[in-house]
């Protein structure tokens, strides 16, 4: 099971990249938590254009909302409030159900590392997209440029170097 955080969903939706996620990971659906759904619903209420696209993916089952079990709720509540509700829920579900978290937040990746939960970040996804032949390097470069404009995302040079490095990357999928 792969739990996707709002930041990855919204960023990819803004650059028309959500379908690539399903192709890359060879999956028909991903999981989201109620907290992630609430964040996405807030974006829809604010009439953010990408949110309509995301709700199309929810409506057709490509993003499925998981309800938390009591052990997950207890663990979620033990995580720091510096993490958002959706992030805490995703970490809790991934820990209890041996899942993977997909997030671009460094503090989420930090907690995942501490808890031995696999975490896939957006640069990992961008790298794998071209390395696995889903799209070309140039298309990934264009996607990055679009993310910088449409999502105001900033990439450090070392991150860009890692995305486009020539070594043989592997895609983490669960």
CATH value at residue 69: 3.40.50.1010
Residue 169, pLDDT > 70, answer no
Same-domain status, 97 and 19: yes
The total domain count for the chain is 2
Same-domain status, 22 and 105: yes
- Please calculate the CA angle 78-5-118 and round it to the nearest 5 degrees: 70
Q: What is the C-alpha to C-alpha distance for residues 112 and 118, in angstroms, rounded to an integer?
A: 7
Residue 174 in domain: no
This prediction has a pTM of 0.90
Same-domain status, 79 and 134: no
Residue 169 in domain: no
Q: What is the C-alpha to C-alpha distance for residues 94 and 103, in angstroms, rounded to an integer?
A: 12
168: burial class by Cβ within 10 Å (0-12, 13-18, 19+)?
A: exposed
The per-residue pLDDT for range 95-106, each reduced to its tens digit, is: 999 999 999 999
Whole-number percent of the chain with pLDDT over 90: 94
Q: Show the domain range for 84.
A: 2-122
Residue 172 in domain: no
Same-domain status, 49 and 117: yes
Same-domain status, 130 and 47: no
The per-residue pLDDT for range 116-152, each reduced to its tens digit, is: 999 999 999 999 999 999 999 999 999 999 999 999 9
């Amino acid at each position: 099971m792969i739990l996707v955080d709002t930041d990855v969903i919204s960023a990819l939706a803004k650059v028309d990249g959500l379908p690539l996620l399903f192709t890359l990971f060879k999956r028909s659906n991903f999981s989201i938590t109620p907290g992630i759904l609430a964040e996405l619903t807030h974006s829809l209420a604010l009439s953010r254009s990408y949110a309509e696209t995301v709700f199309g993916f929810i409506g057709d089952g490509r993003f499925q909302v998981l309800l938390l079990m009591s052990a997950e709720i207890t663990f979620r509540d033990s995580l720091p409030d510096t993490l958002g509700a959706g992030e805490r829920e995703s970490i809790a579900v991934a820990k209890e159900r041996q899942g993977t978290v997909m997030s671009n937040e460094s503090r989420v990746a930090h907690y995942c590392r501490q808890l031995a939960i696999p975490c896939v970040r957006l640069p990992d996804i961008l790298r794998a997209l071209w390395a696995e032949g889903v799209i070309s390097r140039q298309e990934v470069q264009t996607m990055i440029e679009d993310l910088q404009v449409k999502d105001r995302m900033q990439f450090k040079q070392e991150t860009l170097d890692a995305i486009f490095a020539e070594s043989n990357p592997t895609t983490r999928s669960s």
